[in-house]
Amino acid sequence: MKFKLLPGLALVLSATTLMGQGVVPRQVLAFYYPWYSVDRAGTNGKHWGAINAPAHQTSATAQYPARGVYNSMDPAVVRSQIQLAQSNGITGFIVSWFGRVSEQERNDASVPVLLQCADELHFKISIYWEQEPGSAARRNAHAVDDLVYLATQFGTNDAFLKVDGKPVIFVYERVLTQMRNAPWQEILSEARARAGPFLLIADKYEVEHARLFSGLHRYNISWAMVGKTPGEIRAWAAQYDGDGVKLARLYHRISCVTVIPGYNDTKLRKPGRIVDRQDGQLYRVLWEEAIRANPDWVVITSWNEWLEGTEIEPSVEDGDKYLKLTAEYAGQFTKLPPVEPDALDP
């Protein structure tokens, strides 16, 4: 992946740069899904499907939670998940959010529960803006309203992830695709005029997104892992992670590198995709290359996306192996000194 400065862009970098903050503290953040529930009989559940607890099986997931299936709206569950993540080096969750009103999800109602538990435990919560419905001008206006809502309703909470006091919101690639031709500068200007400053971290490693947004990350990197040996994955990650961090640094943006333990969505999609976990070797290699790339933040896909098989939350099949690996590498990463502002210069 090669990045080229657009013609004349060097002359306007200072004008378009959204950062302008000092040192960005190291973070290890995990994508988190608050969409699970279980019926009273314990035999069926939202995003679990049919549940066979004695056999440790659900119809929707390839693996089974070590704690058993759970309800994401239960504060006791949320509190224990945060404690477990925190004790293994994770500093915050990026919480999936599909909007204020959604027939499919309860994500919005779950955020206050997460923020309350996180505040008690000195943990951080951010939002993963997953979709923007509608079309054309209506969608753009709705996007402004969503950003204002997120920044004012949740972003002011002490537990919400901030940089220099500015709430940090992650933007999924689906939103960028839905709003491909949107006037982003106008949308961001209007939203910030109404809500105050906030930072958006876009799910792309591309120049146009580095110009517009406050940082760059990638959510799903499984496409690059299929059928590769650990050595091949290492070579790919060294190039991909390095290029992504270099692009973010060039535009003075927050840089993020992604690690995944594996991938298996074959119960969700047909034929689906499988990336073998290789008994933890995949995760190790990706963590080692992430640390070598020296981003501001490492993001983990995921804490509990059981439907796509990227979870590091303990499972019956793997136990707490991936939490132990996370603790090992997160400890190494967060001990590194933050990147100084001067080092962000092109």
The domain limits of the chain are 24-336
Q: Cα separation of 133 and 136, whole Å?
A: 10
Percentage of the chain surpassing pLDDT 70?
Answer: 90
User: 50 with 83: CB under 8 angstroms?
Assistant: no
Residue 4: the pLDDT is 41
Residue 21: the pLDDT is 54
Q: Cα separation of 163 and 331, whole Å?
A: 21
Q: Cα separation of 55 and 62, whole Å?
A: 13
- Give the closest residue to 211 by CA, choosing from 251, 169, 170: 251
What mean pLDDT value characterizes the chain? Answer: 91
For the chain, list residues with pLDDT below 50: 1-19, 103-104, 342-346
24-336: CATH homologous superfamily? Glycosidases (3.20.20.80)
Residue 106: the pLDDT is 63
Q: Cα separation of 61 and 64, whole Å?
A: 7
Q: How far, rounded to the nearest angstrom, does the alpha carbon of residue 240 sit from its chain's CA centroid?
A: 17
